[in-house]
A and B are shown apart, each in its own frame.
Chain A
Amino acid sequence: MSVDPMTYEAQFFGFTPQTCMLRIYIAFQDYLFEVMQAVEQVILKKLDGIPECEISPVQIRKCTEKFLCFMKGRFDKLFGKMEQLFLQLILRIPPNILLPEDKSQEVLTYSAEEFQLLHKEIEQLQEKYKTELCTKQAFLAELEEQKIVQAKLKKTLTVFDELENAGRENGTSDFRESLVFLVQNSRKLQNIRENVEKEGKKLKVS
């Protein structure tokens, strides 16, 4: 007969019901023996007080054993019944009852594979999150860099603007045009000078 260890009951009570019953059985049995012993002591004492009593202590002991043997037999039978009822009706967790600490067992149940997959998904999500964070850092770094580059480029453009403004303030709205204009004028001047020089030579010669 397989023993029902009643571990679920032990989880709730903190002791096994069988131990509890054993503890009660031993205590009750001890009391039965103790009371029987007390009865025998009292009877022997009473007999001591009776002069020329023919009943010997051995006889009384035999009577005690006879009564105790009978009582023990009935005691064991009755206790067996009581134990059965105790284990069925009092110290048992009914099969449809779940202990509070196990409530979660009813809510969600995952197979080992599902649990594994969940773990895998969590790890993947963690990796993905890390990647996204790195991406964010990279973007922020580039944005920072862009700010610097743009500032430099804008500064360069400002320099050009300031140059042109300087020109403008001195009457040359457009440097290039004015230079072209200068070059043309210079050429004209040179031509004029050449002509003047030629004329001068002619005059000398004549």
Chain B
Amino acid sequence: SPALSRVKLLDTMVDTFLQKLVAAGSYQRFTECFKCFSQLQSEMSQRIYDKFVTQLQTSILEEIAEIKAEGNLEAVLNALDALVEEGKDRQEPAWRPSGDPEKDLRSPLLPYFLQQRDTLRRRVQRQEAENRQLAEQVLNGRRQVEELQLQCRARWQAWQALHREQKELLAVLREP
């Protein structure tokens, strides 16, 4: 049943495998093959057969336990169960590596490049707005400089005129 965890499923399959293997290698089959011995020592033969079955089962189950422990298989299979549970609502086939690393790398990198682009967009916009203000200030400054230059020129010209008057006065004063 789908509700069965993978670990449980694994144990069930191994048990079934063992049951069937032992069922196939029945005592009857065993005595058929070891006919001479089982006729001679039937009781012993039964004990040896039972030991054979027990030992085989123990060895195989110990092997499975060892493989589970070695690969941390239980935790891994439980994690897979969780993944399957999580994704059970989606029916369509999920993405799989295409074999083209460059192509497969695009998606993991994309969010970061999109974020970089958005950050840059924001910064450019912010800088453009700041520069518009600065441009305004520069234009105002230029106007002020021009204004001051005009004022200075006007004052300078006034003094120039004054200077001419002064010269004229000197000329007048100096006249014989």
Q: Do chains A and B touch in the complex (CB under 8 A)?
A: yes
Query: A residues touching B (Cβ–Cβ < 8 Å)?
Result: 7-8, 11-15, 20, 23-24, 27-28, 31-32, 34-36, 38-39, 42-43, 46-47, 50, 53, 55, 59-60, 63-64, 66-67, 70-71, 74-75, 78-79, 81-82, 85-86, 89-90, 93-100, 102, 104-110, 112, 115, 118-119, 121-122, 125-126, 128-129, 132-133, 135-136, 139-140, 142-143, 146-147, 149-150, 153-154, 156-157, 160, 163, 175-176, 179-180, 182-183, 186-187, 190
Assign chain B's interface to a size class. 35 or more
Q: Which 8 A-B pairs have the closest CB atoms?
A: A67-B33, A153-B148, A146-B141, A139-B134, A74-B24, A125-B120, A31-B59, A132-B127
In the assembled complex, the CB of A65 is this many whole angstroms from the nearest CB of chain B, namely 9
- Residues 5-42 of chain B: 1 if any A CB is under 8 Å from the residue's CB, otherwise 0? 01001100110110011001100011001111100110
- Residues of B contacting A11 with CB < 8 Å? 97
In chain B between 130 and 176, which residues have their CB closer than 8 angstroms to a CB of chain A? Answer: 130-131, 134-135, 137-138, 141-142, 144-145, 148-149, 151-152, 155, 158-159, 161-162, 165-166, 168-169, 172-173, 175
Give the complex CA separation of A100 and B95 in angstroms. Answer: 12
In chain B between 42 and 62, which residues have their CB closer than 8 angstroms to a CB of chain A? Answer: 44, 48, 51-52, 55-56, 59-60
Give the complex CA separation of A53 and B111 in angstroms. Answer: 83
